[in-house]
Amino acid sequence: MTFDSIATATVPIAEHREPAFVHEEQNVAARQRLENYVSTHGRRPNILVILFDDVGWGDFGCYGGGVAVGAPTPNIDRLARDGLLLTSCYSEPSCSPSRASLMTGRLPMRHGLLRPPMYGQPGGLDGEVTLAQLLGDAGYVTQAVGKWHMGENRESQPQHVGFDDFYGFLSVSDMYSEWRDPYFFPEIAYSEERTRWIENQPFNRCFVHAVKGGDTEDVEEVTIPVLSTLDDKWATYSRDFIKRMSGGSQPWFLYHCTRGAHFDNYPLEKYLGASPAKHPYKDTLIELDDIVGRLVETLRETGQLEHTMIFVSSDNGPNMETWPDAAYTPFRCAKGSTWEGGVRVPGVFAWPGMIDADHTTDGLFSFTDMFPTALALAGADAAMPDDRFIDGVDQSSFLLAPEGRSNRKYQYYWLQNQFSAVRVGEYKLMLASISDDDRDVQSLGGFEGVAQRYPYGRLYNLYLDPKETRSYLVRKLAYIDSFTSGIRDHFKTFGKYPPRHPITR
Ligand code: CA
């Protein structure tokens, strides 16, 4: 019999862990592959995460975008051909919740970052156990470069939550630029009083450098001309790190987060008009694709490509409130929402010789899965905390086994502190969502829509109806138990491990 994700039960792992599918043969194949690697090379793999900002599922050529949407992405497409392309990779609805879920293996209701903190607002990673911390404990050199946005407060800064070194900014692109731009903010840019008022708000206007345990040092104030050079500078910093690590005995974790392509995009001069679309968002994508090419080339030149697992993704869907400075998704709605357009993001894994080339899969992968998966590859799974619930599922066999299948059964969608939906197989049951107009599949999204609750739920078949426009519930009641039991088990975990925020029902 072939495996079926709706008809197959998961296996409990521990009280504090999300249950998962166990594929026995796949586990054996993956374990053998990893053990062979470790014994042949006497080391664990490097882990390189390249995380874009607000880039959409449909932007890259390998996802049907690229040339078709005015910005070819040959480097990312090549990486996807050389590795594994996920069609169902899930972030959270916005930046900080997604990033913290990747870094902790926990959903926002548990790590507490339900929305991005802006202009010095409180909130951050402090109190969480991070991937960087556990990889560091396992002997990895840990480097964060670029956008942070998991708390500006000292205790949440990268050098205090496990990173050996950090070079980047602590918040998000628009916060440094929007009030300086006379086109978007004339009433501030042309007013000395208001400019001073903004400058006195409690956020650092500079990008910074920091070393583990120390304070941040300002590198440069992020004016608009500086902003346009950040991705180039940060790519150079990461390339230098990769070069420095070559020949060393320690494995490393490089968490490289780009400024682009978050609004507002001011491309580096050499990329102005470089895309067929000639639009700043698309020009920025050309630069980001070039940067992926540069990082991969540096790995190759230094003999580290075969020793590095690469993951390229984006932290949420398009921000349609800033269109046309916005990504492309073929799915419904946008950033801020739990429609597929908000949370279904590109996800490409590559590790030559270890992850089979040319494999596309619709298996579910959540950002929370990165935490246990990376720890498994590092041989550090035993270090995972057991005093808190871990939503992530170890997907190492999904990645490493030939034609691997996902270990995740349920994808849970949360709209801040309101439970929104669950996906299993090709079906998604939605109980609450954000939307301004059901008929408008290109809707402005996301952040501006009204909250809706569906007393009976709405059921979408994501294969027949990827834009989620036609509820299928009345025809498909036979599936109801598989959804409600998944939701019930998920809610039980909050009984034993209370959430950081009260749940809205
Ligand atoms: Ca984002």
Considering the domain boundaries, does residue 498 fall inside one? no
Of the residues 62, 89, 95, 333, only one is catalytic, namely 95
Q: Is 232 inside a domain boundary? A: yes
CA 235 to ligand 1 centroid distance, Å: 19
Q: Measured in angstroms, how far is the CA atom of residue 494 from the centroid of ligand 1?
A: 27
Peptide bond into 264 cis (omega under 30): yes
d(CA 337, CA 447): 7
- Give 197's contacts (C-beta < 8 A, 6+ positions apart): none
Task: Determine the pLDDT at residue 10.
Answer: 96
Within a domain: 99: yes
445 has pLDDT over 80: no
pLDDT of residue 502 exceeding 90, the answer is: no
**Catalytic status, residue 149:** yes
Domain range enclosing 52: 48-405
The answer to whether the CB of 37 falls within 8 A of the CB of 30 is no
**Band (2; pLDDT cuts 50, 70, 90):** confident
Is the pLDDT at 283 greater than 60? The verdict is yes
Q: How confident is the model at residue 117 (pLDDT cuts 50, 70, 90)?
A: confident
Give residue 53 CA to ligand 1 midpoint distance, Å: 4
What pTM does this model have? 0.97
Structure confidence by residue, pLDDT tens digits, 177-221: 999 999 999 999 999 999 999 999 989 999 999 999 999 999 999
**For residues 237 and 231, what is the distance between their CA atoms, to the nearest angstrom?**
10
Q: Pull the structure tokens for residue 108.
A: 């926002």
Does residue 440 register a pLDDT over 80?
Answer: no
- Cα separation, 403 vs 390, whole angstroms: 26
User: Is 95 labeled as catalytic in the residue annotation?
Assistant: yes
Half-sphere exposure of 261 (CA within 13 A, CB side): 30
Q: Residue 410 above 60 pLDDT?
A: yes
Q: Does residue 398 have a pLDDT over 60?
A: yes
Arithmetic mean of pLDDT over the chain: 95
Does residue 42 sit within a domain?
no
Cα dihedral angle (375, 376, 380, 386), rounded to 10 degrees? Answer: 80
Nearest alpha carbon to residue 173 among 57, 265, 98: 265
What is the pLDDT confidence band of residue 444, given thresholds at 50, 70 and 90? low
pLDDT band at 122 (very low <50, low <70, confident <90, very high): confident
Helical spans, DSSP H, in 119-163? 131-137
Q: How far is the CA of 94 from the centre of ligand 1 (A)?
A: 5
Name beta bridge partners: 217: 209
Residue 438 Cα to ligand 1 midpoint, Å, equals 24
Question: Is the pLDDT score of 409 beyond 60?
Answer: yes
503 belongs to a structural domain: no
Beta bridge partners of 360: 85
For residue 441, pLDDT beyond 80 = no
Chain centroid to Cα 112, Å, comes to 17
Q: How far is the CA of 169 from the centre of ligand 1 (A)?
A: 14
> Which residue is associated with the tokens 């969502």?
433
**Position 246 in a domain:** yes
Q: Cα Rg for the chain, rounded, in angstroms?
A: 22
Asked if residue 113 belongs to a domain, the reply is: yes
Q: Is the pLDDT of residue 379 over 70?
A: yes
Separation between Cα atoms, residue 64 and residue 57, nearest integer Å: 9
CATH number for position 80: 3.40.720.10
Q: What percent of the chain has pLDDT over 90?
A: 90
CA 95 to ligand 1 centroid distance, Å: 4
Q: 172 alpha carbon to ligand 1 midpoint, in Å?
A: 8
Q: Which of 261, 252, 171 is nearest to 216 (CA)?
A: 171
The conformational region for residue 437 under phi > 0 = left, psi -120 to 50 = alpha, else beta, is: beta
Considering 23, 111, 149, 307, which one is annotated as catalytic?
149
CA distance 226 to 44: 37
pLDDT higher for 105 or 503? 105
Count of the separate structural domains present in the chain? 1
Residue for token pair 């918040």: 171
User: Closest Cα partner for 412 from 91, 58, 129?
Assistant: 91
Tokens 């006195």 identify what position? 200
SS3 414: strand
Q: Could you report the per-residue pLDDT of 20-70, keeping only the tens digit for each?
A: 999 999 999 999 999 999 999 999 999 999 999 999 999 999 999 999 999
Length of the chain: 505
At 175 the three-state DSSP class reads: helix
Q: How far is the CA of 247 from the centre of ligand 1 (A)?
A: 35
Tell whether the model's pLDDT for residue 169 goes beyond 90.
yes
Report the distance separating Cα 88 and Cα 369, nearest Å.
13
Mean pLDDT of 126-136: 96
Question: Which two three-digit tokens encode residue 91?
Answer: 């972030």
Residue 60 CA to ligand 1 centre (angstroms) = 17
Q: Residue 344: CB partners within 8 Å, gap ≥ 6?
A: 57, 88, 89, 90, 317, 329, 331
135 pLDDT exceeds 90?
yes
Alpha-carbon distances, residue 204 vs 118, 146, 328 (angstroms): 11, 15, 31
Band (pLDDT 50/70/90 cuts) for residue 438 is low
The answer to whether residue 188 sits within a structural domain is yes
Residue 96 Cα, ligand 1 centroid: separation in angstroms? Answer: 7
Residue 47 in tokens: 């882990």
Token pair of 230 as six digits: 């950040």
Q: How confident is the model at residue 439 (pLDDT cuts 50, 70, 90)?
A: low
Q: What is the pLDDT of residue 501?
A: 83
Q: Is 432 helix (H, G, I), strand (E, B) or coil?
A: strand
Average pLDDT of 107-118?
A: 92
Whole-number percent of the chain with pLDDT over 70: 98
* Amino acid making up residue 424: V
pLDDT band at 368 (very low <50, low <70, confident <90, very high): very high
The stretch 3-30 carries a mean pLDDT of: 96
Question: Does 108 sit behind a cis peptide bond, omega within 30 degrees of 0 on the bond before it?
Answer: no
Longest dimension (CA), the chain: 71
More confident residue, 501 or 419: 419
Token pair belonging to 14: 């521990």
Give per-residue pLDDT as tens, 86-109: 999 999 999 999 999 999 999 999
Helices (H), ranges, 179-247: 186-189, 192-199, 224-227, 230-245
Q: What is the mean pLDDT of residues 112-136?
A: 91
Q: What's the CA-to-centroid distance between 242 and ligand 1, angstroms?
A: 25
236-267: pLDDT as tens digits:
999 999 999 998 889 999 999 999 999 999 99
Residue with tokens 């490409």, as numbered in its chain: 348
Q: Is the backbone of residue 336 left (phi > 0), alpha (psi -120 to 50) or beta?
A: left
